[in-house]
Amino acid sequence: MLNDSRREYFAIRFVIILLSAIGPLCTAYTATLLRRVFVSTRGPSLEVIAQAAWENAHWSSLSPFQWYCVAEAAFYLFFLWYRTHLQREALHPPLRSKADRQALFAKVVSEMHDPEKFLSGWFRGAKVEDIGREDLKGFAAWAFFEGRTTEEDAEELEEITVKMEGLIGRKFKAGRGTARGLRLTVDPIEMSTRCLLWYTIIMLVDTVAHIRMLRYGMKYYSTADSTLKVFPPRPLAEITATAASPAENISYWLRPHTSKTRLPVVFLHGIGVGLHPHIEFLHELDEGLNAKSGADDKVGILTIEVLQISSRLTHSIPTREEFLEQMTQILDSTPGYERFVLCSHSYGSVFTTYLLTHDALAARVAGTLLLDPVTIMLHMPDVAYNFTVREPRHANEWELWYFASKDPGVSHTLGRHFFWSQNVLWRERIMELVGQGSRVTVSLASRDLIVDTQAVGAYLARGEVPDPVIVEGKGERQRHMELGTHEAEQKGVDGKGEVEVEGWKKKAFTGKGLEVLWWDGFDHAQVFDDRATRAKLVDVLVEYSRDR
Ligand SMILES: *[C@@H]1O[C@H](CO)[C@@H](O)[C@H](O)[C@H]1NC(C)=O
Ligand SMILES: *[C@@H]1O[C@H](CO)[C@@H](O)[C@H](O)[C@H]1NC(C)=O
């Protein structure tokens, strides 16, 4: 993520304006070119005019730049169509039973630390006074029925409304108010158009990433989607693939596993341009695990590619069931992966949640490192709000808004394939796995622009429902690590009175149970930006790979 300097702010605004303007400008310019062709052409019927226009000398006199504009214009028009095409309805998971629904609602209520903040966030920052009873029911119909309520559910919606009124201690106004609920998978998807120039850049980045992965000794396992049915094209993926992936829709990279004593690693990336930003980390992980070991003691690294969230145009993302089935196929056909260590970044925590909530697969996970996860406390509105509706103001928010939230693949994934109740990872489940001997580390950045990491950290570390008004000490905004200093819970004092210095932020990594790594002064994903912090993450995985 960008930092918030003036230079970075103006740079990101400029790039976004440029990339957004290319399509419309080229279309306007192409229209003037066409006009020139047509105006000078006369004929009795449209067909004859078109014929004449095609043969008109103007076409052959177009310069390469003019041809480029024509191509951008055609792509822009395609995109306008594509954007409407993607609005088709989501295929929601099966409706849950009434008992399940009530249990889910009770769970949400039990983990809701601040009902007003909960409601206001889910209603796009509106005041609770502006939410009408009908608005609340509409929201509940999405949250618990995925928008599929019938007349018969009126009573249950009324019950939910009354319970919410009890929580906030007053009645919602009758009928509708002015607040609009955030209903991810039924609201229209908002996305911005992309231009050919952008996809050319992606193609270059993808090619470079592919070459670097090959150079670092990773082998590529392709699918039809990952090589052919994807835009921009990936000729290298097709040519250099070691073999076809055993799974229909999941392509991956593998550093084969040979160790008999240590466990291999699975890595799941997040939203962005694919694996490119993580290659150095993966290489350092490989070094950390394998630099000193012989050929028969190498720890494997398997990293899947999710092109739907990597600035590409392709098939829609696999559903939870498809993912679990296909991941099982991959793990079963890869030697050494009976048990493994899991590491995921950001959106990768969605797939991690799928694995950790599936009993058979969860039993194979010896340790999990979640970097900037978005699925913990997902019942709170922060992630959905900050990712999809927040008006960007700072450089990092503009970056997230244009390159992630408004990307066609990403917005379609979130708008039609993101079912919050499937994706939420409750602390209860983490503790259950820890009770069964699994180890979990959650790495959080203090300035995370999407997740309320303060609340997530407190929730995980203390096991209590987090207090939203924890006061932060006036620490320096410097990027320094808080890992490795032993300090018990203590009380500090600043000018305004007593401030809690939370011990959980300072605990050293021990490799036992559930732990939190806190990065002071870091934003989402910035933990990958320098070598020293990456080394700490490698340490965690090296420890988990030892499988105590
Ligand atoms: C999986 O791949 C097959 C073959 O390419 C395709 O027909 C199908 O739509 C894909 N499914 C998903 C969820 O992408
Ligand atoms: C959004 O992110 C900010 C941090 O940038 C956080 O403080 C806030 O709680 C998040 N949620 C909402 C709904 O704004």
57 band by pLDDT with thresholds 50, 70 and 90: low
SS3 494: strand
The residue among 418, 420, 248 whose CA lies nearest residue 326 is: 248
Mutational test site, ligand 2, from 382, 447, 448, 456, max ligand atoms within 8 Å of CB: 382
pLDDT reading at 11 higher than 70: yes
Which residue do the tokens 């932020």 mark?
505
Nearest C-alpha to atom 7 of ligand 2 is from which residue? 452
Helix 427-435 / helix 348-356 crossing angle, nearest 10 deg: 50
pTM value? 0.89
Q: Which atom of ligand 2 is nearest to the CA of 382?
A: 11
Task: List, for residues 241-252, the tens digit of each pLDDT value.
Answer: 999 999 999 999
Expressed in angstroms and rounded, the spacing between residue 1 Cα and the centre of ligand 2 is 16
Q: What length is written for the chain?
A: 548
Main-chain dihedrals φ then ψ at residue 547, nearest 5 degrees: 50, 75
461 and 541 both lie in a single domain: yes
| Distance from the alpha carbon of residue 119 to the mean position of ligand 2, in angstroms | 14
Element (H, E) at 532: helix 531-545
Mind listing the pLDDT tens digit for each residue in 490-532? 333 333 333 445 788 888 999 999 999 999 999 999 999 999 9
CA of 228 relative to ligand 1 center, distance in Å: 12
Rounded CA separation 203/220 (Å) = 17
Number of domains comprising the chain: 3
Last residue of a domain, one of 131, 153, 168: 168
Task: Look at residue 219 and give its three-state secondary structure.
Answer: strand
**Is ligand 2 within 6 A of the CB of residue 413?**
no
Q: Whose CA is nearest to atom 13 of ligand 2?
A: 382
Report how far ligand 1's centroid is from the alpha carbon of 419 (Å): 20
Residue range of the domain that includes 29: 6-85
Q: Is the peptide bond before 232 cis (omega within 30 degrees of 0)?
A: yes
Residue pointed to by tokens 């050293």: 508
Alpha-carbon span 232 to 519, nearest angstrom = 36
> What mean pLDDT, rounded, does the chain reach?
89
Q: Which of 85, 119, 147 is the last residue of a domain?
A: 85
Q: Is residue 156 domain-shared with residue 231, that is, in the same domain?
A: no
End-to-end Cα spacing for the chain: 35
> Residue 174 domain-assigned?
no
Within a domain: residue 471?
Answer: yes
Domain check: are 103 and 55 in the same one?
A: no
* Token code pair at residue 104: 């889910």
Separation of 499 CA from ligand 1 center, angstroms? 54
pLDDT tens by residue, 228-244: 899 999 999 989 999 99
* Contact by Cβ (8 Å): 410, 190: no
Question: Do residues 373 and 227 both lie within one domain?
Answer: yes
Of 52, 85, 118, which residue sits at a domain end?
85
Q: Indicate whether residue 386 lines ligand 2 (CB < 6 A).
A: yes
Cβ 244 under 6 angstroms from ligand 1: no
- Is the backbone of residue 336 left (phi > 0), alpha (psi -120 to 50) or beta? left
130 lines ligand 1 (CB under 6 A): no
| Nearest ligand atom owner, CA of 326 | 1
